[in-house]
Amino acid sequence: MIRPGERLVQRDLARTLSKIAENPQSFYTGDIARAIASDMAKNGGLITLEDLRSYKPIWRTPVCGNFRKANICSMPPPSSGGVLLLEIINIIGDTNLLSLGYNHPDALHLLTEAMKIAYADRSQYLGDPDFVKNPVTQLISPAYAKKRRQEISMDRAKPSSEVKPVDESTLLQFSQVNQGDMRRRLGGAETRFQHTHVLRPVYESPETAHLNVVDEQRNAISLTFTVNQGFGSGVVTPGTGILMNDEMDDFAVAPGVPNGFGLVGNEANAIAPRKTPLSSMTPTIIAGSREQA
């Protein structure tokens, strides 16, 4: 057992990272790939050497929108994060949460009810865009958010079981957002990033990690990565130090059946070969003037 103040030295992982730094393809075709494939074969796993060799990253167009005077771009499907972020803040609309005060019951109530609506829509409509059509522009439409806001009573918390996704015919009525214009505005000369003090977290997540980097040329990166649940699958490939994730839990094993985090999915997020599971990762870049929330 590692005790507070003791040092954990991960020699296998250090060697693996050094190999990847020297030759990134070693993870897909070299010794690292062979070690992973061999361990899978010995223990009934599904990943083969051919799977690793044929893997290709997929470039996606960010999902973008406006909130007051800020331009926001975030991760698109197969992450639900960016869509839900924009849907939730659109439902909040002009409500000044800051004026209510930190943790004010009305602010928490509004946020909670907005999240219930967004996650209900997520359960029905979102999935890997290579397999299903995601109605992104409708879900992030301010007009759509205004309609859903009318369902929120500030005097009563609606049980989650009563919060339903919008029906498809209603959803398709809402106008399209000009995504290209949003991205141009985010990347244009008017973008300014203001340096703030560094927050030092008192808690470190055992599963998902996030980092933000802005360099002196104002290039910005917002990155989220995860092994899903705490310590992923709990399995380390011998000799590599690589901890295997358990991202299959992000799929909907059956319509209406919750995953390990209680999220319910549907056919849009059903398991299929070469399909990416729906996640909630929300790496986000916000540009524009600072304004009270």
Q: Is 29 found in the same domain as 145? A: no
Q: Which residues contact 48 (CB under 8 A, 6 or more apart)?
A: 37, 40, 41
In a domain, residue 152? The reply is yes
Q: Is 143 found in the same domain as 76? A: yes
In a domain, residue 271? The reply is no
Q: Is 143 found in the same domain as 97? A: yes
Instruction: Report how far residue 241's alpha carbon sits from residue 257's, in angstroms, rounded to the nearest whole number.
Output: 33
Strand-pair category, 220-226 with 208-214: antiparallel
Per-residue pLDDT, 101: 87
In a domain, residue 127? The reply is yes
**End-to-end Cα, the chain, rounded Å:** 45
Q: Is 94 found in the same domain as 40? A: no
- Split into its structural domains, the chain has a count of 2
Q: Is 169 found in the same domain as 140? A: yes
What six digits make up the tokens of 242?
A: 């690589």
User: Please, are residues 55 and 256 in contact by the beta-carbon 8 Å criterion?
Assistant: no
Per-residue pLDDT, 173: 84
Q: Is 183 found in the same domain as 76? A: yes
User: Active-site residues: which are they?
Assistant: 208
Q: What does pTM read for this prediction?
A: 0.81
Q: Is 68 found in the same domain as 150? A: yes
Q: Is 125 found in the same domain as 16? A: no
Q: Is 24 found in the same domain as 140? A: no
Express each pLDDT in 201-221 by its tens digit: 566 677 788 889 999 998 889
Amino acid at 167: D
DSSP label of 137: H
User: Please, are residues 106 and 152 in contact by the beta-carbon 8 Å criterion?
Assistant: no
Per-residue pLDDT, 51: 94
Q: Is 153 found in the same domain as 110? A: yes
In which domain, by residue range, is 84 found?
A: 63-196+282-288
DSSP label of 113: H
Per-residue pLDDT, 193: 43
**Helix or strand run (H / E) with residue 221:** strand 220-226
Instruction: Report how far residue 264's alpha carbon sits from residue 244's, in angstroms, rounded to the nearest whole number.
Output: 24
Taking alpha carbons only, the member of 240, 237, 227, 223 closest to residue 18 is 240
In a domain, residue 208? The reply is no
Q: Is 75 found in the same domain as 40? A: no
Per-residue pLDDT, 1: 79
Q: What is the CATH number of the domain that holds 96?
A: 1.10.246.130
In a domain, residue 48? The reply is yes
177, burial (CB in 10 Å: exposed 0-12, middle 13-18, buried 19+): buried
Residues of the chain short of pLDDT 70, as ranges, are 175-204, 289-293
